[in-house]
Amino acid sequence: MSEHSQNNTVVFLMGPTASGKTALAEELYKKLNCELISVDSAQVYRGLDIGTAKPTAEELKETPHHLIDICEPDEPYSASKFCLDAHPLIHNALKNGRTPVLVGGTMLYFKALRDGLADLPKADDDIRQVIVNEADEKGWPYMHQQLQLIDVDSAERIKSTDSQRIQRALEVYRISGKTLSQYFKEQIISPLTSPILSLAIVPKDRELMRQRIADRFDLMLERGFIKEVEGLFNQKGLSAELPALKSVGYRQIYQYLSGDYDLEMMREKAITASRQLAKRQMTWLRKWPDLHVLESDNPDNFTIAKKLLAESSKV
């Protein structure tokens, strides 16, 4: 694929935490005519640097990423906001003959781009509590049956054991009188229309992934992660309840600074939370359609990705 060839493909470069996504994205940027767009719900925040494995200022000069450092930690950011930010960046890249490479691990954001988003009503704490109380009394299978009575399509998609999604579907209906399925049919953010090349970088075995996560967290500690978290709370007066500061690692270090954990317990809790995140990311990827899996640390990953991108441009 020549440097200036035209291609309307959008690349999704996904993978669990610590798998090596950024390294391949940077190689694609340097060797092909690509534009990098970060897909990371924590890297959008200024000041969350070490703990999000954000590229350094020097790295960003060499390989610029869109949607990094675009808001303060106390500003809300969501999948819908991400789509509204990402769509024009993708459009402009394609218009200028460049291939958009969306790189990150926030799988919900990737799905929102792929499938579009509905304009769902905001959560209502009172209604949510009523639903939870009812479930405590009668069980979530019963609540699933109630969902089936009002929204057959959602009930078919949602397992009777998936309490979180059952609760949200019932909540949406009780707030608005409209079913979740109706909202999806009236979605306000459309799916991408360009062809998508879905790539995932995955460590070749689970134990390797677990070790990489532990090693990366220890490196973050060496680089001053604790001081970063301390500075966020001391200098900006931020709350531990903010979504940004509930990110993996930040929450555990805050609890350490508050005296809830000693250093070793904090490390164990943070590494465990990171591994749980990676497990959730892998669950998303196992269900992802038309996925090309690349092994972490495979020296041929760039060549494979380049070939797949060239093939996609011929479709």
* 150 and 231 share one domain: no
* 205 and 167 share one domain: no
Which of 185, 213, 234 is a domain's end point? 185
Report the alpha-carbon distance of residue 143 to residue 167 in Å, rounded: 8
CB contact set of 11 (below 8 Å; sequence gap of 6+): 28, 34, 99, 100, 101, 102, 196, 197, 199, 305, 309
Residue 1 domain flag: no
* 203 and 303 share one domain: yes
Task: Find the angle CA(257)-CA(258)-CA(262) to the nearest 5 degrees.
Answer: 65
Q: How many domains does the chain have?
A: 2
Averages of pLDDT over runs of 10 residues in the chain (315 residues) are 62 95 95 96 97 94 97 90 95 96 97 88 90 96 96 93 93 93 81 95 92 97 97 82 92 96 97 96 96 95 96 77
Report the alpha-carbon distance of residue 312 to residue 88 in Å, rounded: 22
Range of 275's domain?
10-116+190-312
At residue 51, the pLDDT reads 97
Residue 65 domain flag: yes
CATH number reported for the structural domain that contains residue 143 in this entry: 1.10.20.140
At residue 315, the pLDDT reads 59
At residue 6, the pLDDT reads 54
* 53 and 164 share one domain: no
Report the alpha-carbon distance of residue 73 to residue 100 in Å, rounded: 26
* 227 and 304 share one domain: yes
Which of 136, 167, 185 is a domain's end point? 185
* 55 and 159 share one domain: no
Both tokens of 183, joined, read 């909202």
Q: Are residues 166 and 260 in contact, defined by beta-carbon separation less than 8 angstroms? A: no
CATH number reported for the structural domain that contains residue 266 in this entry: 3.40.50.300
* 110 and 255 share one domain: yes
At residue 185, the pLDDT reads 80
Which of 148, 166, 185 is a domain's end point? 185
* 140 and 273 share one domain: no
* 220 and 87 share one domain: yes
